[in-house]
Every structure is written in C-alpha cells, then in structure tokens.
Structure 1
Amino acid sequence: MSMMFVNDSRGDGDAELVWDKYFEYDNKKYSTNDFIENANKNFSPQYEGQKANYGVDKITNQFDDVDFQKAGIFSSDDESQPYVTRSNWQETYGKRIRLTANNAFKKAQENPSVETDDIEYPKYDQLGFYEGVLDFDEIKLIYLSGKDFNDPLWDTLLDRMTWEETCYLLQVALRHTRGVSSIEAPSSSQQNGALAPIHQRTYSELPSQSGFRGFAELLDPDNVNQPPPVFVCNGIVAATYNTELIERLGYNGIYGLGVNIHRGAYCGRTFEYYSEDGFLTGVAAGYEAVGLHKLGVFVLMKHAILNDQETHRAGLNVWANEQSIREIYLRAIQIAIEIDQEYTPNPVLGVMTGMNRAGAKWIGGQGFINTVLRAEYGMTSFAVSDFNSSRPYMSPIQGVLNGNDLPDGNPAGNRSGYDYDGNDIRFTSYAEGYGELAWHMRAAVKNVLYTVVNSNTMNGIAGDTKFITITPAWEIAVPIITRVSMTLFIWCASGFGLYFVYGLVKDIVLTRKGRKEKTN
C-alpha cells in the first residue's frame, strides 16, 4: 500500500506577483467612453442652442419611454407587472403581461408638430472651392472621398447645395439615394435583402432612371423572371464561427445585414438573422460588413431595433427595459459598428429602422439613432426607414429630427403630404421659420453623402465628371395631363350634378303644377 504525505509548510513566493482581482470602483469608466469625451471636447455649435454630441455627455438611460414600467402612460397596476427575472423564474417566466390602452397611450403615439423658431438657416447655393496638391476646382463630392467625417471641407460642400436639392434628396429614397447636380453627386442603387436582392424588377411607381432598378433588370434583363441567387441563410453563416470565412462573403449598397435576434424558430425573418445571441450576431455581421466594404459596398443593418416578429409588425408597440435592449438587441449593432471601425478606414455601416414602435413612438422617431448609435457608438453612415409609402405614422420629418435620415419610399407623395395627425411631411413646406429642422436636414444630407462618396458608387468618377438630370417629355406631360383630366372630370361632374338637380326640381315643379290644375 502506498501513502502520500503533504508538506503543509509555506513557501517563499512573492505575493506581489499574484494577480489581484480586486479593483477600486471607477464610476467614470462605466458612464462615458473616448468617443463621447472627444465629441464633447471638440464640439463647436453650428447654430444657437445646438447641443454637443446630441446632448449626450455620458452613457445613461435612453429607453425609459420604451419601458412600460417607466413610460408614465399606464396605470399603477399595469406598471407593477414584473419582467422575467432570474430571481423569480417560477412566477415571471412565460407570464403574459397585459397593458390597458388609455388616452395617455393614444396621445403618446401621436407625431408632434414642428415648432417654429428664430434659428438662422444654413447657407445654401454658395460657391466653394477645393484646393489639392494638383487640383483647384469648384467643390464636388468626389473631393470628399476618404476625408474624415469631421473634415471642415464638408461644410464647403454642403453650403454649395440649394434648399431645393436638400429637400429633393431627403423626400424620396426607395432603394436608392438621389443625385445632386450642384456637387456632381451620382445617384446610388441599393438592393433589398439581407441574403440577396429580393426584387428583380423595377418598382412600377418609379421611372427606370430614378436610381433604383430591379437587380436582374439592370444586369441580366434576359433572365428577369428567374429567381435571384442568394447567399446561405445567416443562421448557417453564424454557425461557422469563422470570421475569416464570413468576411469573404461579399451592389452599391445593401439593405442588410440582418441583425435582429432569434426570439423564436418560426419568425418570418429568422433566415435573415444570425442567431439568438447578441454577441455572436454582432461579430458575424461586423466581419461580413468589413468584407463588403472592401468591395466598396455600404451596409445598412436591419431592422434597428426590436423588430423581432413579422406578424402585425407595422406599428406594433414593443416594450422592453434598458438592460435587455442594451445587452441583447443593441449589442449586435454595437459590436458590428466597433469591428467595422477597427478595420475600415472610412466606416459606412448604417442601419435600416423598422416599421415597429419602440414603446409608443415609431422606432425611427424615438431618438436612439442619434443618442446611442451616433453619440455613443460613433456611427457615421445614414439610417433609412423600412418600406414607407403608405405608413404615415412613420413621419420623415420626425425621422430626420431624430436621426432617421431617409424614407424607403415616398410617404409624402402617397398621403397628399400629411401624416395621420395632420402634420405636413413635405420638407419643402419648411422653408422659413424652422431653422433647427433645417440644420437636422443638413446633417442627414451629410450622413448620406459621406456614405455614397466612400462607396463603389464613385467608381470611375473624376473631378471633371458631369451629371445631368434628364427628364423625359412624357414624365413632364403625365402630371399636366392628369391635372387637366381631373379638372375636366370635376367640371363635367359638376355640370352633370347641376343638370340632374335642375331636372329634379323641374319634375317636382311640374308635378305640383299638374296636381294643382287637376284639383281646380
């Protein structure tokens, strides 16, 4: 039988060489980051009252209005219902939360009107110049290629645009960004689909020269009716756990990648999204975006945020607390942006927002795009809405005020220019007395142009390239003919109506006259 003896005497080791897991609590570390500090330190206001870094000087709650317990619009009984918690699985897991709609909830869903102000508008239609090593020329978008997002030359470029061009760029963006003649900015085409272009044909409501054309119609018209090729579904992509392979997956831009979270196996978009884990989703999306950017493709991750079901998704009120939003649903976007910033010289990773509401507000008008994605994460690309040609609660005006730069559609054109609450959603209507909105419009234009100029949209474009917008005669004639036809129709209808009333009155008079004569 063998025996083992243990010497319990102490050795002569150096305790200072042992790693100490105890640290002094540093509150600052958890309330800010380098981007926030630099943004506030280097801030120079463009107009009176402008807040530094969208009013964000530390990391704090930005989603209290999305938390039904803190939104302040429900009864105390409704607010007392608990979220799922590890401390009480038995009574919270799987429990249905019921909220009672009331007048406060109804009011909270309304789009506010834009308040007038005395803020001076930005400059428009100002001639500016670019001076390089070999070039001295009028300012054009191509000269901003590779420039830092905060380069002062951007102001020279934006000053060159007219008010009308600003409105034109921001009002309609169905699968494309519009060109701007004054700065020789081309239009760009984006294909919709996290795995592949899902539309082969041009949308019937847009002329073919609008900037968006169906992918097959544009590149392979002989096979326009064939199903498009697609990448493998993103769940399989994430399951490789291979960042190098994911980066090799590789349009001007793409409405993807899908970064929502798998909440259930039967979600209508599960095939577009990577996983149920925010970290894995962010890593996969980040490296795939890096690979796409190497080919000059800008990426708009979707659908930011809390868009995790297809059924009744248009206008759906989604409630969640700050912790779950940041740890699960925003985490994927944060990680993807950080990876892209590390490996891409001029990051052009943006987002597409959803049709859903975050709490009571449409997600594109909630504010997180500015206060979190831009102010905390440093996102420099643009945000586009989900498809919006018939959903007036998705106001493009509120979108621009809160960081959602473009509508994927033409909401103003399809609703006679107004949202559900009677607010004008045509940018051209705000030419005077709305200075703060005008500066937000300028910022939105910059986000779009920064993305376009750092993409393959600019391939083959030089300083002497000219873009000329050609409007066919039929496109000019159609609205004129439509108006004339409607006018004639109204006149004819009015004439017929008057004739009908005249005949009716005449019949009544003759009938009464006949009865009177018969009586006599």
Structure 2
Amino acid sequence: AIVNIARSSGEGADLTTSSLYTGGLDGSYLSLSQEEFDTLEALTEMKKVGTINKIIVILNSSATIQLDFLDNDSIDVDSCLWVGNVGKSGIFAVAKALTGKIVPSGKLSDTYLKNNFSSPAMMQQSYNNYKKFMSAYENAGSLTDDSQKYYGVYSEGIYVGYRYYETRYTDYVNGVENTGEYNYSEDVAYPFGYGLSYADFSYSDFSVQESEDGKSFNVSVTVKNNSATYDGKEAVCIYLQKPYTDYDKTNGVEKAAVELAGYSKTGVIAHGGQETVTINVKKEQFKSYDANGAKTYIVDAGQYYLTVANGAHEAANNILALQGKTVENTQNRMDKNGNALLAKMVWNNPTLDTETYSVSSHTGNAIVNRLDFADLNKYEGSNTQVTYVSRGNWVGTLPKEKIIISLTERMISDLQSKKAIPESVGASMPSYGRNNGLTLASLRGKAYDHPDWEKLLDQMTFEEQSYLLTNGMYSTVVVESVAKPNTKEFDGPTGVVGSKGNLSMPSEGIWASSYNNDLIKRVGEMLAEDARALGYSGLYANAINIHRMPFGGRSHEYFSEDPYLSAIAGVNEVRGIQSKGVIANVKHLAFNDQEDHRAGGSVWLNEQEAREIILLPFEYELSSAEGMGNAHAVMTAMNRIGTDWIGANENVLINIMRGEWGFDGYCITDMAASDTAYIMNYQDGISRGTDLFLGNGSNKALAEFQNNASYCQRMREASHRILYAICNFSAAMNGIYIDTEVSSTSWWWQTAIICVDSILIVLTIGATAMYVLSETAERFRRKENV
C-alpha cells in the first residue's frame, strides 16, 4: 500500500500550529490527522494478516511533516520517501523511484523531526500559545498603522535546525555542565544531510591536504558502491567543527558542533565500482562573527575538525569518535559509535585571529558591527533584555517565557515612516535634460564609474527618473532620452506560467537535496529559457530565505535550514539564469522567514545569527567576487529589522550589501501596494538604498522631492544602478544598437482595452452606489411603515 501524506503552503500566511484537526493528534497542520493515523493503523493490521505486503509512505510536502508516527507501535511502515512538491511532471520520477527504475541519490535539506516544536525558535513561539511567531507590542495601541505593531525575537541565535540538535547532543555526550538531560532520538527522526539509496555506498581513504597557498583544504574520499545490482550516484558531504573556547563563552560567540562546509556529487558509480571525490573547503569558512568582543569576524585558537558523513548526526559521532568517545565510555549518552577514520583534526590554530577576516575578501572594506540597532540588548531605545540561547548554559538560556516588549518613546519614534532625508555633504542639484548624444547601448561594457555614465545620466529628465524608479511592476519602463528599452520581469522561483507546457519545477528544497550543483545550474538555465521564450528578461528568483521553523508559509520557495547549502545551491541557479541574459532578482532580503505579519513586522536578533545564518546566502549570491553568484538585482522584504523597514536600512543595503559584498546591481522592493504604503514609501526607500519600487508610479510620483539636492542625487544613483545592470546583463538590450531610437508607444487595442476597463469601473461604481442608495431608501420607507 502506498500512502500519500500531502500538505500545502503559500504566500501570506504561515502554516497553522494548532486547532486544525478536531480530535487529531497534536493538532498542528504538519502532524498526522486522526484519519491519516487510523488509515496507517488499519493498513498495519492488513499487513499482519498478509492482505498487503508493505506500507510505503510518501511525504508530499515542502514543509517538514512531523514523523513521530513512524515510532508508534501500532504502525509498521516499511519505507518513507520525501518528494516535496513535485511540480508538473515530478510524479513520474516518483513512480520510477518506487519501482526501482531510477535510484534515489538525494539527501535531506532539512532536519525531519518527531517533535516539530522542539527547536529553540519553536520553543519561543510556544510561549505565544503556538499561534503566531509575531506578537503585538505590549502597548501597540498607541501606534497608528498595522505595520508598526508586531515583532518577533530570534532568541535562538545561530542554533537553527540541526545546529541546535547536534550541538546539544554533542555537549550531552561530552558531559558538559548545564546541558541538562537530553534525548536526541526523542526530537530527531532523520538528521539533516541523511539519505538512503538502493545502491549501498561506503567511504574510505579519507584524507585532507592543506592547499599550497594555505587558504583552503582539499578533502578527498573514496566512495564505493557495494551493491551487487544497482548503479547510482552519491552526494558526498563534508562537515566542520570549530573549537568552542573560553573566549567565546566570555564574549557570547556561539559555535555549532558541526556545520556543512562542502559537498559534491559523484557520477554514476557502477555496482561494485568506486570513485574518488575531492572537495575544497576554504579556511574562510572557519571564521565566526564576534559581535561583542572584536566586533568583526574572528578565527578562534584551537582545533578544527573535518569529517565526511551521511548526515549531520553521523558527522557529530565521527568527530566524537576521533576525540575518543564511544557508546560505552559515555555511559550510553552517545547513541552510536562513529567512524574515527572518516574524521581528521586538520588545523590547530595557536592564537586567536581577529585580523584576517576583519576586511571583506570581496571588496577589501573593513567589516565591523552594523546591526547593533537590531539587537534589543544593544539598541538604545530598548527596555528589554534578551537571553540568547548559548551552549555555555543550555539549561539557563533555552526559552522559558514569552519575550514581552513594551514600547519606549524612542521605539515609537523610530517606528514612524517618512523619516528625515539623509543629507549628503556638499550635495548639489544634478543636471537634467542635457543633449550629450549618448545612448544606453553606447555604454555597454564600460565600467560603472566611467565618466560617460555621468554624461548619460545628465540626459535624463527628473520626470523620467521619477517614472523609472516608481513604476517597476513586473517591468522597467522605457527611457527615451537614453534609448533604454522596456524590460519585462516574471515572478516565479519554480516556473514561468504561460510557457510551453506551463512548466512547473518541484519545490526548491528538493533541488537542494540533490546536492548537485550542475543540475541546479541547468534548472536555472531552463527557467531562463522559458522566460526568454515569453519575452521576459528578468525573473523574481531565486528565493533564499531560511527554513528557520517548520511552519513557514513559503518553505516551498526556499532551499534549506542550512545557510551554506542555500548559498551554494542559489549561486548555481543564479549562474544558470543569468547565463541566458535574464537578470536574477534574488529575494527576499532579508529576515523574511515567516509570512504572518510580514508587512512591517519587526525582527530583533543578534548580529552573529544575522551574518552567519540569515545573510550568508545573500552574500554568496549577490557578491561580484570570483566564485560568487553576482546576481544583478535583489528584492527586499516587507518586514523591518529592528524598527527600520529593510528597504530603508542603509546598514544592510549600503554598508553590508555594497560595501562588504560588492553588489553591482539594483535593489527592488517587494509588492508596494496599499496595505504596505505606510512602511514602503518613496521618501524612506530611495533615500536609503532602494532603487526601484514594484508598483505603479508616475513621472510626478517624486515631485515633492524635486528641490531636495540630496534626494535628487539618490534618484540619480538609483537610475544609474538600474541602467548599468540592464545595459550590461539583460537580453532586453539584444538588437539595441548605439543609434537605435526607443520610444514608449501603445497599440490602438491597448488604449481601447484601458478605455473599456475604465468605463466598466465607472459603471460598476455607479451601479453599486445606486444599489446602496436604493437599499437605504427602502429601509427608511420600511421604518416609516412600522
């Protein structure tokens, strides 16, 4: 019997954590309903008497379904296959995998749990009665707009997903004080990075060599297929352990027991055959962010370990084994003996290093604290202290109560929109409407700071800039003065609706679970080819927010709970997309890991989690440095970081994204509609780093700023960024030559449709008004007749 357990999710709302199934198990959407549980019990009885031979469960969900039922004595499942959302044709591959015609080779991109409420992030939500991650400020009634009233606190720090489970397990095995009693098997069903195959793979000859330049390690392992029948591929994953030192404990620097540091995919290994895989792990991945002491990236003194493993839990056990731990000598705290031959201590750093990674490897600019304002323990307007989870004291720091924030006068002031426009020292009014004889095509290939760009920008009128920056609804508009053509963008990370066959890809977590960079690049290429076929030269893709909690509404759009896997998968998709002349608009920058109250909800967190977990995938995809994604556009989120809308925060959009990462593209908002008008406004956005609004603006939309030199200079710079990206990287420029003239025209039928639509709207409003008036008159007549 094959039992398909399906769950769906979508934009605008997170998955419910309570009261979905009356009479169900724990009531959450991601656990079994009573009906599903009863079905599996009934099938188990049929299996006992020989009516059926096997029970196969398919998990047809991008969100992680709770798997506690697999341990229930009354249910006997033979195999469980996660397929995510299968897209248009993925179900055929599922059938082939079930029948053995293809050999599965994926590994989990998330941790599968027996208790979806067991992570620190979900513990915090539990004190919110499991209803929403966001809470209303205690005295939110004093605020005027809904986008000001809600907040969420990331008190878990870096301990997202497996980083919590494997680290607490490791400390428990090692008998670390204040770890508390911990039973890993009660929380985790299948660890991150774990996977099975019809083939039977084993690892041997594990070796690590430092590179000649001393900047990385080359990790090699031989993969053998011991199967007598099946050929197959294997995803090979390398995990890193950093030392957790007294310096860290003093300065609040947290370290996971293991974290993914590299991976590769073998070719098809014939049964009985083998292949040696070499994976490069950069030393830069050994760094950690120290927000309290050095206030930059550090590399701790101590021993660093690498291991190859089938999943994060096996990785933890392999390193524990190398350190001398066994099930026996830990009094059964260790649940399985690891393989010490598959782990190595690769570097013993003699001293704390606070210098090497204190400057950006992308730009050479200094890296310093930029996000103190988002940490309630450092924000000057806070009267609330947050206890962040620390492995230095698990028992004392895991969430025990709801974090209640009462608004201060400073907070209320900072939550207001339309803040004072930052003044640029010495700013003068730009030139407009010059006749310099340049076209956008004439600047193709010229550096961003080439003097001709200034001459080109001088040709634009204020009205053209206003229209360009405010009218970015799935397009960028024609700019006649510089012969910029119209571009069309499509919103869809997993498919371009309207393409031949209406192609729809599986959910992104499935892509990530392939651990196959070449395959993900080909997915990007295919998406871009579909886009080009329909006349699009940009995609609002990919989406790289983190699976911070199981109940996130848009988990189908995001890759993983792990930032490194998200980063590398995303880089390869972006490369595929942009190789076809389609600009990737990477989204949603940043801290948009939940849907409820996303429009203006404040996220409070510490800078280590911000940089190491949430922002890392964006750094990889947006950086223009060699080996990175170099995406040429980014879409900001609707939420706040601290009290600031993310699209109006210079620390993120200017100092980090451009100053540290070297981002060379333009920054577009998410949907700028009526329900987000208060927070996502032109004054704050364009003056603080946003370049383009996903809305329907006009050539007069920015007229109120026409005499503000600082604001006009920001408009000019935003126009520059958009023009530069489209000129050099967009297929919309194909066929546009130096002497091509571009104009904005409408066909007669477009005008006719607009006129008909307008007439219908007027008639509808009129008819509605007449109906309301007639109903009101009738009520008065009825009252008079009583």
Q: Return closer, same or farther for 1:267/1:435 CA change in 2, 3 Å cut-off.
A: same
Q: How does 1:132-171 map to 2 (within 5 A)?
A: 138-171=437-470
- Paired letter, 1:113: A
Q: Confirm or deny that 1:101 pairs with 2:407.
A: yes
Q: Distance in 2 between matches of 1:349 and 1:69?
A: 35
Would the aligned equivalents of 1:190 and 1:253 in 2 still touch at CA under 8 Å? Answer: yes
C-alpha distance after superposition, 1:141-176 (max 9, x if no partner): 112223222222222221221111111111221111
**Whole-angstrom CA distance in 2 between matches of 1:181 and 1:466:** 8
Counterpart residue number, 2:645: 362
Tell me whether 1:445 sits opposite 2:746 in the alignment.
Answer: no
Alignment partners' CA distance in 1, 2:599 and 2:459: 38
Match for residue 290 of structure 1? 575
Q: Whole-Å Cα distance in 2 between the matches of residues 355 and 20 of structure 1? A: 43
Q: Which residue does 2:590 correspond to in 1?
A: 305
Rounded to whole Å, the distance in 2 between the matches of 1:329 and 1:116 is 31
Q: Please give the per-residue CA displacement for 1:386-414, whole angstroms capped at 9, x wherever unaligned.
A: 1112112111221112211111113x67x
**How far apart in 2 are the matches of 1:342 and 1:115?**
33
More divergent stretch after superposition (20-29 vs 458-467):
20-29
Alignment match of 2:397 (pick from 78, 92, 95) = 92
1:208 is aligned to none
Distance 1:237 1:115, change over 3 A: closer
User: Hey, what's the Cα distance between the residues in 2 that align with 1:195 and 1:253?
Assistant: 14
Q: Where does 1:47-66 land on structure 2 (aligned, <5 Å)?
A: 58-66=366-374
Which letter does structure 2 place at the counterpart of 1:102?
T
TM-score if structure 2 supplies the norm length?
Answer: 0.47
**C-alpha deviation, 1:371, in angstroms:** 0.9
The aligned runs of 1:39-438 (5 Å cut-off) are 58-75=366-383, 78-79=384-385, 81-95=386-400, 96-111=402-417, 112-114=419-421, 119-128=427-436, 138-197=437-496, 216=498, 228-249=502-523, 250=525, 251=531, 252-338=537-623, 341-342=625-626, 347-367=630-650, 368-390=652-674, 391-392=676-677, 393-410=679-696, 426-432=701-707, 434-438=708-712
Identity of paired residues, percent? 31
CA displacement, residues 149-207 of structure 1 (integer Å, 9 cap, x when unaligned): 2222222221221111111111221111111001110111111121124xx6xxxxxxx
- Provide the rounded CA distance (Å) in 2 between the counterparts of 1:268 and 1:98: 24
Which residue pairs with 2:70 in the alignment? none
Cα displacement (A) at 1:26:
5.5
- Seen in structure 2, the aligned counterparts of structure 1 residues 20 and 265 have a Cα distance that, compared at 3 Å, is closer
How far, CA to CA, are the matches of 1:33 and 1:440 in structure 2?
25
Counterpart check, 1:29 vs 2:388: no
> Residues 574 and 631 of structure 2 are in contact (CA less than 8 Å); yes or no, is this contact kept in structure 1?
no
Deviations 1:262-318 (A, max 9, x none): 012221110110100111101110111011111011111111000001112111111
Please state how far the C-alpha of 1:322 moved relative to its aligned partner: 0.7
| C-alpha contact (below 8 Å) 2:586/2:631 kept by paired residues | no
Q: Is residue 638–residue 670 contact of structure 2 (8 Å, CA) maintained in 1? A: yes
Whether the aligned pair in 2 keeps the contact of 1:383 and 1:403 (CA below 8 Å) is yes
| Amino acid in structure 2 at the alignment position of 1:430 | F
Q: Distance in 1 between matches of 2:427 and 2:706?
A: 12
Q: Identify if the C-alpha distance between structure 1 residues 285 and 165 changes in structure 2 by more than 3 Å, giving closer, same or farther.
A: same
8 Å CA contact retained: 2:421, 2:687: no
TM-superposed CA distance for 1:29, in Å, is: 2.5
Q: Offset at 1:23?
A: 5.7
TM-fit CA distance, 1:323: 0.7
Gaps of 5+ in 1: 1-18, 38-56, 129-137, 201-215, 418-424, 490-520
Q: Output the amino acid matched with 1:158.
A: L
Change in 2 beyond 3 A, CA 1:360/1:296 = same
Partner SS for 2:411: helix
The worse-fitting range, judged by mean Cα deviation, of 20-29 and 171-180 is 20-29
Q: Which moved more, 1:165-174 or 1:90-99?
A: 90-99
Residue matched to 2:94: none
CA distance in 2 between partners of 1:343 and 1:323 (Å): 24
| Alpha-carbon displacement from aligned partner over 1:111-170 (angstroms, at most 9, x marks no partner) | 213377873112222222xxxxxxxxx311112223222222222221221111111111
1:199-249 per-residue CA deviation (whole Å, 9 max, x = no partner) reads x6xxxxxxxxxxxxxxx3xx77xx9xxxx4222211011111111111112
In structure 1, the partner of 2:29 is none
SS in 2 for 1:87: coil
Q: Which has the higher contact order (CA 8 A, sep 6+)?
A: 1
Q: CA deviation at 1:347?
A: 4.0
Structure 2 unaligned spans of 5+: 1-345, 526-530, 532-536, 767-786
Task: Name the CA distance, whole Å, in 2 between partners of 1:235 and 1:364.
Answer: 27
Distance 1:102 1:20 in 2: 48
Give 1 or 2: higher strand fraction. Answer: 2
- Cα distance in 2 for partners of 1:287, 1:230 equals 19
C-alpha distance in 2 between matches for 1:161 and 1:384: 20
Structure 1 residue 258: deviation in Å?
0.8
Quick one: structure 1 residues 178 and 20, their matched pair in 2 at CA, closer, same or farther if it must change by over 3 Å? closer
Identify the range of structure 1 (104-113 vs 287-296) with the bigger mean alpha-carbon deviation.
104-113
Q: CA deviation at 1:349?
A: 2.9
CA shift in 2, pair 1:87/1:160, >3 Å: same
Matched AA of 2:387:
P
- Secondary structure of 1:159's counterpart equals helix
Tell me the amino acid that sits aligned with residue 671 of structure 2. F
> Structure 1 residues 348, 442: closer, same or farther in 2, change over 3 A?
farther
Q: What is the alpha-carbon distance in structure 2 between the residues aligned to residue 427 and residue 475 of structure 1?
A: 29
AA partner of residue 389 (structure 2): V
SS in 2 for 1:114: coil
Stretch of structure 1 that moved more, 106-115 or 245-254? 106-115
CA pair 477-377 structure 1, distance change in 2 beyond 3 A: closer
Residue identity matched to 2:430: P
What amino acid maps onto 2:656 in structure 1? Answer: V
Deviations 1:76-125 (A, max 9, x none): xx22x311222122232243322112333221111213377873112222
> What SS does the corresponding residue of 1:196 show, helix, strand or coil?
coil
- In structure 1, distance between residues paired with 2:592 and 2:491: 17
The DSSP-based 3-state class of the residue aligned with 2:669 is strand
Question: Alpha-carbon deviation of 1:443?
Answer: 1.1
Cα pair 2:621 2:631 within 8 Å, conserved: no
Partner of 1:205: none
2:745 is aligned to 470
Task: For 2:349 and 2:550, locate their aligned partners in 1 and report how far apart those are by CA, in whole Å.
Answer: 42
- Judged with a 3 Å threshold, the aligned counterparts in structure 2 of structure 1 residues 316 and 115 are, in CA distance, closer, same or farther, namely closer
Distance 2:394 2:587 in 1: 32
Q: Which amino acid aligns with 1:336?
A: E
The number of residues matched between the two structures is 397
Contact kept in structure 2, 1:289 and 1:349, CA below 8 Å: no
TM-score, structure 1 as length reference: 0.70
Distance 1:116 1:304 in 2: 25
**8 Å CA contact 1:396, 1:406 repeated in 2:** no
